[in-house]
Amino acid sequence: MAANVQQYKTDVHNNWCPGCVLPGTPIHTNPDLKPIETLQVGDKVMGLDGRYHRVTEVFSHRHRGLLYRLRAKCLGETVLTPEHPVLIARRDHPKRHNERFDLVWERVDRVRKGDYLAYPIPTDVVDIERLPLPEEAEPLPQDRRSLPLPDEVKVDGDFLRLVGYYLAEGWIDTRSASKGGIDAAIGFSFHLNEREYVEDLRGIVRRLFGLEVAVKEKTQGHQVELMINSSRLARAFRAWFGSGADRKRLPPFVLLLPLEKQRELLKGLWRGDGWIDPKRARAHYKTVSHVLCEQLKFLLLRQGIAPSIQREPARPGHRASYAVYVLGKRDFPRLLEILDLPLSPAQVPEGRPPSTVFAEEVAPSATHRHRFLMVPVFSVEAFEYDGPVWNLEVEDVECYVSENAVLHNCGDYGILNAVQMTLAQMDLPPHRVALFSGIGCSAKTVHYVKTYGVHTLHGRVLPFATGAKLANPELTVIAVGGDGDGLGIGAGHFVHAGRRNVDLTYLIYDNGVYGLTKGQASPTLRLGMRTKSLPQPNINEGINPLALAFGAGFTFIARGYAFDIPHLVKIIQQAIEHKGMALVDVLQPCPTYNDLTTREWYNARVYKLEDEEGYDPVIKPGMTEEEIRERVAEFMRRAAEWDERIPIGVLYKNEAVTSYEERLAERLPVYPKAAPALRPLCDAQGRPVVDLSALFEELRVL
């Protein structure tokens, strides 16, 4: 890349697009749980598929107005701006669970109590047999009791139970040295009546590491203290699992292990900080580590258990903590089975069915089956707010996961990123580029790109852009606008811009709706289609932008896709390099209002023209009429494809038609050197060289 993309980014941030949450909102990252404002480009966050995807943008702006607190029955809350799309399923009946779950993206201000939040369950499994220990550090004088250890440890059920014991009851014993402390040992604490667990731990350490555990009973506190005296093992456990009750966590590889191994981890955890209440048929686990709490949630979800998470605020002498409850006739017996605890008939819960439901969805774009926990919405409350909010742009899935919900981005960011990346790859000086926009969701693009930019009138973007290009032909001019802006009120200008064939590029953000004004049908929405914002199906036939552009005289016609940024960058670059009027119709899912042509719908249909053997869209000077007719016929066939297959790429490129600037130069020999923006206004001494007397005389009032 010749230039840095950051060179083309402004300090102005989006203040209207959905996807904004309060600072402090915990977002699931790999392998952590971080407040959204601490995330950076390159971090990986969980998506709706239960996998981790790269953050490509981090946005923040000040929000004045309503926010919505979205509470789920079991998984806490998230606070969002009103337009923010959340992945939900509508509730069919107020008193019983749905039999099927049709997942949709819905604005949070339209989510109702009882609707289901779809919460992803990681399903990937990656097993590892052995784990290398960190390199042996230079021995210190104070580290006399460490014995040699194997260079790797077997990752089996014994090791996972030991990990559970450490996370629940363990600590790193740090002893002073002349230059800072050293991790000298791993300590554990159990109750005197938990001798079974003490002996289990001693046996594990002996089998895995060949070490003996020092045991000391404290009858006054009814405790048994165990010490593993190995600085190397202490350093390893600190690196793998953290130290300090509030900083303990699991490394990524543990979260992907097979379910059988993870069950042993759950045993160790529950034997340490968990308890079972057989009379009330409920289990409980408590930790002060927010990260460990959320990781335990995913461990249980993978086992088919839906936990209930509660935050217990700090009080005198106690830090804030997180309680994980397992109860109900589905989940409590399942946990006892995993923990190898007997279940008596008296412990079998009775009464209402579980408040949550496990459901699966097969993504239309692939055979991968996504598994979700369907969590009923407990409440949706609005309140006034004046302060910062944050948003992410995430690669591939365009969404990220909070404590209780899957949150979507806006597709405009994909196009914005593509524009910035194109300018960087072409190494275009920012002062030599001018962007123009009309009205709509796309209109603020000019505010986010650090070049000259003009936010014009509704439907008038092409006349403004044409005037700028003709006045200063040295500029790279890019016009952007929505399908409603350009093909509705701006349709006349669209046609006449094509006739002129001025050397500029026009990007249409094509999502089938008027997104800024609550989702009315735009000119490109097909006849009979009914999005969720329409009371009845669309009564008008939809415009085909590609066919209209050809009829108007555009000499470069292409289609891109907002969720394939690298491919879109290549198309925009070709459009800019083309000498003539270039159209790039960008397919852009609108998660807020268009629930028909979604990302999944497009992913199942789009294909790249350059992958089609023998496809050539270029008409060159000197081609025969027969050759031209063949190319045009192929363009028409591809431009008409839609339902089952949708082509993206360059569909038509005519190099045999002169540009408007070339025609103008033939008529005016002084053009382009004497173009208005290139004419001198003053001489070297600053004296004006332009004679305006004739103009003043014409305007003189008699």
Separation of alpha carbons 209 and 152, rounded Å: 9
Task: With a cut of 90, say whether residue 129 has pLDDT above it.
Answer: yes
Determine the average pLDDT of the residues in 351-357.
Answer: 77
Residue 6 — very low, low, confident or very high, per pLDDT cuts 50/70/90?
A: low
- The candidate with the shortest Cα–Cα distance to 272, out of 148, 392, 171, 165, is 165
- pLDDT mean over 600-608: 91
Supply the pLDDT for residue 56.
80
Query: Which ranges constitute the DSSP H helices of 210-251?
Result: 231-241
For residue 364, what pLDDT is reported?
Answer: 37
Burial class (CB in 10 A: 0-12, 13-18, 19+), 426: middle
Q: What is the pLDDT of residues 466-504, one digit of tens each?
A: 999 999 999 999 999 999 999 999 999 999 999 999 999
Residue pLDDT, tens place only, 404-427: 999 986 555 678 878 988 998 899
CA–CA dist 457, 460 (Å, integer): 5
DSSP 242-266: -SSGGG----HHHHTS-HHHHHHHH
When pLDDT is averaged across residues 190-213 and rounded to a whole number, the result is 94
Over residues 47-53, mean pLDDT:
92
Across the range 427-440, mean pLDDT stands at 94
Q: Residue 459 pLDDT more than 80?
A: yes
Over the stretch 534-555, which tens digit does the pLDDT of each residue have? 889 999 999 999 999 999 999 9
H-state helical runs in 509-624: 545-552, 565-577, 599-603
Lowest pLDDT segment from 90-99, 358-367, 551-560: 358-367
b/e per residue 652-670 (b: at least 16 CB within 10 A): bbbeeeebbbeebbeeeee
Query: C-alpha 85: how far from its chain's center?
Result: 12
pLDDT exceeds 80 at position 98:
yes
Q: How far apart are CA 386 and CA 389, in angstroms?
A: 9
When pLDDT is averaged across residues 332-346 and rounded to a whole number, the result is: 88
Q: Give me the pLDDT at residue 411, please.
A: 53
What is the tens place of the pLDDT at every residue in 260-307? 999 999 999 999 989 998 888 899 999 999 999 999 999 999 999 999
The tens digit of pLDDT for each residue in 499-518 reads: 999 999 999 999 988 877 77
Domains of the chain by range and CATH?
16-117+356-408 (2.170.16.10), 130-347 (3.10.28.10), 412-608+645-662 (3.40.50.970)
What is the pLDDT of the chain when averaged over all its residues? 88
